[in-house]
Structure 1
Amino acid sequence: MSAFIHSIEVWLMEYGVFSLLFISFADSSFFPIPPDVLLIPLGIANPDKVFAYALLTTAASVLGAAFGWVIGKRLGRPVLKFIISESKIIRVEEYFAKYGAMAILISAFTPFPFKIFTIFAGISNVKLNVLIIWSIIGRGARFFLEATIILYLGAKAGPYIQEHFTQITLIGGGVVIIAYLLYLLIKNRTKPINITKR
């Protein structure tokens, strides 16, 4: 199976940016290959365009997330059974119950299969604008972080990201979540207090 996926990756590389747009869109809704496998080599080959690639990857990924949401909204829970096991579906449910919209943010940045969360967002009646906002933040942070690493490390970025991918995404995801929590804390503290006469 891994050899088959690798052959697809090699084939997709021949079409450059068009493949990057397709795989970025499809990964967020139904495709098994993440866009990083194209973003990284394309960015290394064209470092002057790496941030443009990151922007395109983010935009296409967010559009794919919206499509995943539509799939979940129209087809419902049974569609997930074609992608993951029942036990994993239950785990995703628990993530949504525990973290709410933050589950989308976490899955958008980390190695969790993003498509599962976008489809489940549709099933769970998460508002589309909520999905889009957190997808932009999570996917944008992930792909622009990779672009920054590519810009600084050049050709060494490929093996570095491959070796430390899980750690990079988990640490970066943690930073994004902490920033979100700080935002909520500041927002709650600055809320005006309504004093009404009794």
Structure 2
Amino acid sequence: MKGHFAFLDRWYEATKALARHPRAMPALAIVSFAESSFFPVPVDVMVIPMVQAEPKKWWKIAATAAFFSILGGVFGYLIGLMFFETLAQPVLEALGKTTQMQDFRQNINENGALWVFGAGLTPFPYKVITIMSGAVPINFGVFLAASVLARSLRFFAVAGIVRAFGGKAEELMKKHFGLFTIGVFILLMAAWFGYKSLSGH
């Protein structure tokens, strides 16, 4: 990556290096929290090498990533709720997320839980959803439940795949994990709208 976005490469490599740090677990907690509201590097960058280094702790690594990601999501929600125009909107624009922000706001009112779940599970930027959920706002209980389910599924799936496939896992997930999560989300979305159609809601 070159030009104005070269700093993202540096952040990516620095984040990956944290996985080899003696205090990798606290670093994972900080990155997981930050990624849900403003940090641009995905948590998987740390989760994968940490599980490769200590496969027996895969569940602890996944649980730490999920818990602090959910807390970071709540922080993002509060940013959107209280500071959207003065703080959140400039941050999202600086990260190049303006289009996602506008699309989300147009579609959020009826299916908020589905949007939060989809962003928490798939490669769609979760930080966009956390901030916009507070800005709209989505019911906080709905937001929290969808975030817990999605973030837990995502990080336990990532850590579980690395535990099962070891060194081959990173290449496997680079090629297929994004498509897999999108496929799962599409199936759940179809079931959701099917249920709403049949129930007349």
TM-score strictly above 0.5 = yes
Preserved contact between residue 27 and residue 64 of structure 1 (Cα < 8 Å): yes
Q: Distance in 2 between matches of 1:7 and 1:148?
A: 23
Following TM superposition, by how much is the alpha carbon of 1:51 offset from its aligned partner in structure 2, in angstroms? 1.4
Query: 1:72-101 CA distances to partner (integer Å, 9 max, x unpaired)?
Result: 111024422322354332112123145322
| Whole-angstrom distance in 2 between the partners of 1:76 and 1:60 | 22
**1:157–1:7 distance in 2 versus 1, CA, 3 Å:** closer
- Match in the other structure for 1:63: 71
Q: Distance in 2 between matches of 1:179 and 1:23?
A: 33
SS state of the match for residue 101, structure 1?
helix
Alignment match of 1:6 (pick from 12, 25, 29): 12
| Equivalent in the alignment of 1:194 | none
Structure 1 runs not aligned, ≥5 long? 190-198
Shift in alpha-carbon separation, 1:27–1:179, aligned structure 2, 3 A: farther
Moved more, 9-18 or 127-136: 9-18
Distance in structure 2 (CA, Å) of the matches to 1:148 and 1:180: 27
User: Which residue of structure 1 aligns with residue 102 of structure 2?
Assistant: 90
SS of residue paired to 2:184: helix
Deviations 1:119-162 (A, max 9, x none): 11111121222111000111111111112211221221111112
**Residues 129 and 143 of structure 1, relative CA distance in 2, 3 Å threshold:** same
Aligned residues: 188
User: Superposition pairs for residues 176-191 of structure 1, below 5 Å?
Assistant: 176-177=188-189
1:20 to 22, 28, 39: 28
The answer to whether residue 113 in structure 2 is matched with residue 101 in structure 1 is yes
User: 1:51 aligned to 2:59?
Assistant: yes
Matched, 1:163 2:192: no
Counterpart of 2:3?
A: none
Which amino acid letter does the alignment assign opposite residue 65 of structure 2? T
CA distance in 2, matches of 1:52, 1:179: 32
TM-score relative to the length of structure 2? 0.82
When Rg is computed on C-alpha atoms for both structures, the one with the higher figure is: 1
* Structure 2: runs of 5 or more not aligned: 1-5
Contact 1:80 1:116 in 2 (8 A): no
Aligned-residue RMSD, C-alpha: 2.4
TM-score w.r.t. structure 1 length? 0.83
Given that residues 108 and 114 in structure 1 are in contact (C-alpha distance below 8 angstroms), is that contact kept between their aligned partners in structure 2? yes
**C-alpha contact 1:24 1:61 (8 A) present in aligned 2:** yes
The equivalences for 1:123-138 within 5 A come to 123-138=135-150
What is the distance in 1 between the residues matched to 2:100 and 2:189? 23
State the percentage of identical aligned residues. 28
